[in-house]
Amino acid sequence: MTKKKFIVTPWEVRGEVDYDKLIKQFGTKPIDEGLLNRIKKHAGELHPMLRRGIFYSHRSLNWILSEYEKGNTFYLYTGRGPSGDTHLGHLMPWIFTKYLQDKFKVKLIFQLTDDEKFMIKEDMSLDDAVNYGYENALDVIALGFKPDNTEIFLDTEYIKSLYKLAIKVAKRVTFSTAKAVFGFKNSSNIGIIFFTAVQSAPAFLESERQGKQVPCLIPCAIDQDPHFRVTRDVAPHLGYPKPALIHCKFFPSLLGKEKMSASIPGSSIYTTDSPSEARKKIFNAFTGGKATVEEQKKLGGTPEICSVYQYLSYIFEEDDEKLKEQYAQCKRGELLCGEHKQYLADKVERFLIEHQKKREKAKDRIEEFIIRD
Amino acid sequence: MTKKKFIVTPWEVRGEVDYDKLIKQFGTKPIDEGLLNRIKKHAGELHPMLRRGIFYSHRSLNWILSEYEKGNTFYLYTGRGPSGDTHLGHLMPWIFTKYLQDKFKVKLIFQLTDDEKFMIKEDMSLDDAVNYGYENALDVIALGFKPDNTEIFLDTEYIKSLYKLAIKVAKRVTFSTAKAVFGFKNSSNIGIIFFTAVQSAPAFLESERQGKQVPCLIPCAIDQDPHFRVTRDVAPHLGYPKPALIHCKFFPSLLGKEKMSASIPGSSIYTTDSPSEARKKIFNAFTGGKATVEEQKKLGGTPEICSVYQYLSYIFEEDDEKLKEQYAQCKRGELLCGEHKQYLADKVERFLIEHQKKREKAKDRIEEFIIRD
C-alpha cells in the first residue's frame, strides 16, 4: 500500500505522517534497544513514552549519555510557540522533559517564542502572543518542574540575552539554507526567516553563561527538528557543542489521523477545558469502531487508528498491562467504543481537575520561574 | 557625455554617482529654494552643507516643518555602522545633525549598528564591532551634542527596547521586498536580511515611548535611504508617522571620485590620525591640477574633480567667499595644488588637534550619553 504524501515543517504538518520515513528524510536516528537500556541504567525506569516508541528518534543522544557518565552534565531545552491555549498534545513533550529533569537532576531552559507566533500568524497581535506565553507558562509550571532548576522566558523579554547568540547563528545561515530547510517563499516575511536563529540561541546559552562546553539535550516533537539541524550545523563554527535531540511523534487529533490542531474545533482538548467540555469532545472522537455494535462484537475494532486508544497510549494509561489488555479486548470486540470513551473521559477528567488546581496555584508562583533581561 | 553605471545600496557604493539620477532612482525630492527658505526661517541661518547642496535631497521635510510650526516637535535619528575607526566623511552628517539639534532644540537618538557590521563583514568579530561602537561614540560626543538631549546606543545593548518594534516591522516586509530594495542574494545571511527591521525601530521609538505620533527626522548619507523607504512603507500599518529624511552626498575620497572608503588606505583621514599622518595623506591627495606647474599656471586647475577643493567645500571652509575665491584662483591658475594642500592641511590639523582633545574628554563622559536596556 503506498502512503500518501506528507509534509512536516515547524509551521506545517500535512498528510498522514510516516514516522519511519521521516527519520530518513530528516536524517535522525531511531531510538534502539541499546539506547533504551543505556537510558534505563541512569534513569532507573523508562518513561512510558520511551517504552511505547512515542519518543522514537534522536540525534547524538549517545553522546549526551557519555558526557553525563563523564560527569559533564547536560541541560534540557524545550519550548512552545504561544499561539493559543495549551492543549494536551503540547503537554506530551513537557511531561517527558519533566521525567528527564527528575531522573537526571538537570536544569531546564524553556523558551516561549512569542516573537515567532506574532510574526507567522497574520492576525495575531504581539500582545496576544505575550499573553498566551504567560498562559502557557502556567501549564508548564503546573506539571511540577523544580523552580530552582527551571528557567522560563518569553523571547521578547529575554532577547538581550539571546540576541548576541542569535546573530552569531544568523551570520552563518544563508537564505538558501533557510529556504531549503524551512521551505520559505519570496512572500515569507524577513522576521520569520531570521527567527530560526532566535530558536537556536538557547541551545548555546549555558555554554555561553558558564564559559565552557555544556551539553544540551532538546526534547521536542519531530517537526521542530529542522530548526535544530541548522543549530547543529552552525555550532562547531561558534565553538559550542552540537545540541542533542530526542524527538516524539505528534499527539493524535481526536478527529482522526492528523496532527492535533488548534485550528479544528473538537480536535483537541485544552488544559482549560471544563471536564464536561472535555468529556463531550471525547464522546465525539474518531475511533476504530465498526458501524454497528453487532458488527464490532463480531469483527472487533481497530485500535491502531483509534484516537481514544492513542490518547490512552500516549499519555493517560501509564500501566502497560492494562493498555495491552484494552488493545486485545478491542480487537476481540469485547471493548466497545462507548465504554472505552467513558474510561478515557474519567482519566482525562481526573487529570484536568488536578492540573487546573495546580495551574491556578502556578499563578502565584510564576515569578519563581520567569527570567527577564 | 554618458555617465558610467553606478550602484548605491547601504552596503555598496560603486562607480561614479550621479546624484540627480539617484534622486529619481530612489524617488526622493531635491531640496529647493522654497524649502531652504523655510529652514532658514526657523534655524536663523543655513548650514554651509545646505547652502552648498551637500545635503541636497529629502523626504517629507515640509511635513516635519509644518508639524514643528504646529508645536509638534520632531526628534532626530541618525547612526553609524561601527565597522572601524571614524573618518572625516562619517562626521559630515553628524556635524549637520548637531546644527539641527542646536537650531531646533530637539532630541537626538543615535544608533550604533554593531549587529549589522558583525553580520555583514565576514572577518569581523562581535567584540570588534562593539569596541568600534564605543570608539565611534567618542567622536559623536566630541562634536558637542547635548547630553540631556542625546541618546546613543549599541543595538546589542539596547535590543530589548528595539526588538518589539523590529519584529512588528519585519512581519510587514517580505523577502521579495527586501531583495528588491537591498539586492539580497541566496547567499545573503538571514541576519542581514532581517537587519533592516532593527534599523527601522528607532524611527518609531519616540512615538512608542510617548504613546503619541512623534515626528522623526533622519539626517543621513543617501545610501541609507533604502532602509528608510522600507520603514516609511511599513509605518502607516503600525500606526506610526513616516519618518522624514534629509540626505547628503558622499564625502569624497582623497584619491579621486569614489565614496570615501576605509578599505583603500590613504583615501580617508581618521579622527585618530596624527596631524602629521593627515598632512601626509593630504599631500598625496588627488587634485584637479595639471601635469606641470607651467601648464597649470597657463591653463588653470579643475576644482570640480579636486579632492582638496571638495574637502574644503564639504567641511573645512566655512566661509563662502573664501571658497569662491579659491575656486576662481584655481581656475585662473593662480592657486597651485601644493599651496592649496598646505591650506587644507593646516585646517585639518587644527580640527584634529581640537577634536582629539574633545574625544579624550568624551571618554569620561560616555555614560552621560549611552543608554542600555
B314-337 residue pLDDT tens: 999 999 999 999 999 999 999 999
Band (A263; pLDDT cuts 50, 70, 90):
low
3-state DSSP assignment of residue B75: strand
Question: What is the average pLDDT value for chain A, to the nearest integer?
Answer: 95
Band of pLDDT at residue B266, cut at 50, 70 and 90: confident
- Is pLDDT of A262 > 90? no
Check: CB of residue A78 under 8 Å from CB of residue A93.
yes
R_g over Cα of chain A:
21
- Give yes or no for residue A3 having a pLDDT over 60: no
Chain A residue nearest residue B127, CA to CA: A164
Whole-angstrom Cα distance, residue A289 to residue A295? 9
Q: What is the pLDDT of residues A313-329, one digit of tens each?
A: 999 999 999 999 999 99
Are A157 and B160 an interchain contact pair (Cβ–Cβ within 8 Å)?
yes
Q: What average pLDDT score do residues B133-147 get?
A: 98
What is the DSSP-derived secondary structure letter of residue A17? Answer: -
Q: Contact, A7 vs A13, CB < 8 A?
A: yes
The 10s digit of each residue's pLDDT in A82-107 is: 999 999 999 999 999 999 999 999 99
pLDDT the model gives residue A286: 94
Confidence at residue B296, expressed as pLDDT on a 0 to 100 scale: 95
Please judge whether A160 and B159 are an interchain contact, meaning their C-beta atoms are less than 8 angstroms apart.
Answer: yes
Listed in sequence order, the DSSP H helices in chain B are 19-26, 33-43, 48-51, 61-69, 88-104, 114-120, 126-142, 155-171, 175-182, 190-200, 202-210, 225-238, 275-283, 293-299, 307-311, 320-331, 337-365
Taking Cα atoms as reference points, which of B247, B78, B85 lies closest to residue B152? Answer: B78
Q: From A184, which residue of chain B is nearest by alpha-carbon distance?
A: B175
Chain B residues with CB-CB distance to A166 below 8 A: 191
Minimal C-alpha gap between B123 and chain A (Å): 11
Percent of chain A predicted with pLDDT > 90 = 91
The full set of domains in chain B, from first to last, is 7-250 (3.40.50.620), 259-361 (1.10.240.10)
Contacts of A179 in chain B (CB under 8 A): 186
Tell whether ipTM is more than 0.85.
Answer: yes
pLDDT at B3 over 60: no
**In the prediction, which pLDDT does B264 show?**
75
B258 pLDDT band (50/70/90 cuts)? Answer: low
Mean pLDDT of chain B: 95
Nearest alpha carbon to residue A48 among A316, A298, A247, A296:
A316
Confidence of residue B14 (pLDDT cuts 50, 70, 90): confident
The CA distances from residue A307 to A20, A293, A304, A361, B2, in Å, are 20, 18, 8, 31, 74
Top residue of A117, A165, A190 to mutate, by most chain B CBs within 10 Å, is A190
**Other Cβ atoms closer than 10 A to A302:** 15
